[in-house]
């Protein structure tokens, strides 16, 4: 069994490609390698160069492998379909150029759902027709990655989107061909949503192709859920703490992965607000050290 540990640009506060607060992409690669990781995600398409030669040379310089990339777009909004398709196609093309595998689909934050992040019993639901069209858009994007570019497509539940809570994720999984759509399982978002990540893994390891390692500060979670705090404000309040300091049981996560024979990448994601007094490289080092201490 081989489990490899990577990191992602969101750990350096990179959420959107054009955000002027983003650190330079070369700095992210350099610090990721210096912190002890051998792989990195693409980040939002456009953050790193889309010229394969330029990015390939930089990855090689730092001994990094490109793991995969995320399409974080509004699948819930039919009027934004062109934007979703643009993100999906460009991401898939960039990943395939570097031999990356993981093509991760995330329904981005919706104003209709953001106030009820962490509140499954209060969250607004799509009607039957809207849900059907939503699932079809996810399937279409998955086919772009899987059939046109040979990638492994997966769905990632995310706070504030329409695939947030465990019942929604399981409903989607039941309606889409397992051969087309796998799971990128994020331990932190599952906890944020109010569910047990280890229990979910135990039920669904046969469909989990990729892992995102994220931890949740339970005190901050309780506060932001109670106050209906915006997701990005919650990041600034430190809801995503260093691994091993929150409510995710990572030794149990490791046990499930080992027992199931999981092989492949597990990527650390510690979303942060880059305008605050943060040192992402220090957190990246601490997270790698923690994972090493429990056998990763």
DSSP secondary-structure letter at 21?
T
Alpha-carbon dihedral sign for residues 3, 246, 66, 208: positive
> Residues 258, 198: contact at Cβ < 8 Å?
no
If pLDDT is split at 50, 70 and 90, which confidence band does 1 have? low
- For 148, the token pair is 């046109």
Range 96-100 average pLDDT: 98
Mean pLDDT of 214-233: 92
pLDDT over 90, % of the chain: 93
Q: How far apart are CA 283 and CA 47, in angstroms?
A: 21
CA distance 244 to 286: 10
Phi and psi at 14, nearest 5°, equal: -90, 105
Q: What is the mean pLDDT of residues 148-153?
A: 98
At 51-87, the pLDDT tens digits run 999 999 999 999 999 999 999 999 999 999 999 999 9
Q: How many distinct helices (H) and strands (E) make up the chain?
A: 12, 9
Average pLDDT, the chain: 96
Residue 236's pLDDT is what?
Answer: 84
**Which pLDDT band, with edges at 50, 70 and 90, does 200 fall under?**
very high
Listed residue (159, 161, 84) closest to 125, CA to CA = 161
In degrees rounded to 5, what are phi and psi of residue 140? -60, -45
Length of the chain: 296
The answer to whether residue 210 scores a pLDDT higher than 60 is yes
* CB atoms inside a 10 Å sphere around CB 174: 8
Q: How confident is the model at residue 131 (pLDDT cuts 50, 70, 90)?
A: very high
Report the pLDDT averaged over residues 281-290. Answer: 97
Tens-place pLDDT, residues 154-167: 999 999 999 999 99
266-294: average pLDDT: 93
Half-sphere exposure of 85 (CA within 13 A, CB side): 8
**Residue 218: CB atoms within 10 Å:** 14
- Mean pLDDT, residues 242-261 taken together: 98
**Per-residue model confidence as pLDDT tens digits over 165-193:** 999 999 999 999 999 999 999 999 999 99
Residue 121 has pLDDT above 90, yes or no: yes
> Residue 203 corresponds to which tokens in the numbers above?
């039920």
pLDDT of residue 29: 98
Q: If we measure between CA atoms, which residue out of 8, 4, 61 comes closest to residue 30?
A: 61
Write the DSSP symbol of residue 81.
H
Q: Is the pLDDT of residue 226 over 60?
A: yes
pLDDT for the residue 25: 98
pLDDT of residue 245: 97
**pLDDT band at residue 241 under the 50/70/90 scheme:** very high
């Amino acid at each position: 069994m081989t489990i490899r540990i990577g990191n992602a640009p969101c750990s350096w506060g990179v959420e959107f490609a054009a955000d002027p607060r983003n650190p330079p992409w070369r700095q992210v690669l350099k610090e990721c390698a210096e912190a002890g990781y051998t792989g990195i995600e693409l980040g939002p398409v456009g953050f790193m160069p889309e010229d394969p030669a330029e990015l390939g040379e930089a990855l090689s310089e730092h001994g990094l492998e490109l793991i995969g990339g995320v399409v974080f777009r509004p699948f819930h909004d039919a009027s934004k379909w062109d934007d979703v398709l643009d993100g999906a196609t460009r991401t898939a093309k960039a990943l395939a150029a570097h031999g990356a595998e993981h093509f991760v689909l995330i329904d981005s934050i919706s104003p209709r759902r953001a106030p009820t992040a962490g509140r499954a019993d209060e969250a607004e639901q799509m009607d039957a027709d809207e849900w059907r069209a939503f699932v079809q858009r996810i399937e279409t994007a998955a086919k772009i990655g899987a059939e046109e570019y040979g990638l492994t497509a997966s769905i990632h539940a995310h706070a504030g989107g329409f695939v947030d809570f465990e019942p929604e994720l399981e409903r989607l999984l039941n309606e889409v061909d397992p051969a087309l759509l796998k799971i990128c399982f994020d331990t932190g978002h599952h906890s944020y949503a109010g569910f047990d990540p280890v229990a979910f893994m135990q039920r669904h390891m046969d469909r989990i192709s990729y892992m995102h390692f994220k931890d949740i500060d339970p005190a901050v979670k309780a506060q932001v859920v109670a106050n209906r705090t915006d997701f990005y404000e919650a990041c600034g309040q430190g809801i995503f703490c260093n691994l091993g300091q929150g409510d995710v049981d990572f030794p149990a996560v490791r046990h499930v992965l080992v027992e199931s024979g999981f092989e492949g990448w597990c990527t650390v994601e510690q979303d942060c607000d880059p305008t605050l007094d943060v040192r992402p490289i220090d957190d990246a080092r601490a997270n790698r050290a923690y994972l090493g201490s429990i056998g990763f």
